[in-house]
């Protein structure tokens, strides 16, 4: 985790430690919107069964797509920070050789 002092110092990034929390919050929001879409499509089936069924399929598909894209975005952010760490290690190693 990170200390409260890390918020005011720029020696350490806090994003890699809190990105997992944001990821799970995004997943929760996606699932809530998916449940809302499923309920909305079930009420739409009373008016038009075909349109309601299409909305149901779209709601389920959008939940899966949202989860996959949020995972990709979280991994991309973590990769950027990991690249920064590796470049710093290379810089430190090359500086010690000289």
Q: DSSP assignment, residue 9?
A: -
- pLDDT at residue 5 in the model: 66
Q: Which residues of the chain have pLDDT under 50?
A: none
Tell me the C-alpha distance between 1 and 90, whole Å.
25
Contact criterion met (CB below 8 Å) for 52 and 46: yes
- pLDDT at residue 30 in the model: 98
- pLDDT at residue 60 in the model: 96
- pLDDT at residue 14 in the model: 74
* Phi/psi of residue 69, nearest 5 degrees: -70, -35
Sign (positive/negative) of CA torsion 25, 29, 30, 34?
Answer: positive
């Amino acid at each position: 985790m990170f200390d409260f002092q890390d918020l005011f110092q720029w020696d350490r990034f806090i994003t890699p430690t809190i990105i997992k929390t944001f990821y799970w919050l995004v997943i929760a929001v996606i699932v809530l919107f998916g449940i809302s879409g499923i309920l909305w499509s079930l009420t739409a089936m009373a008016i038009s069964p075909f349109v309601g069924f299409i909305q149901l399929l779209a709601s389920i598909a959008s939940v899966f797509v949202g989860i996959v894209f949020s995972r990709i975005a979280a991994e991309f952010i973590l990769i950027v920070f990991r690249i920064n760490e590796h470049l710093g290690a290379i810089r430190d190693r090359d500086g010690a050789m000289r």
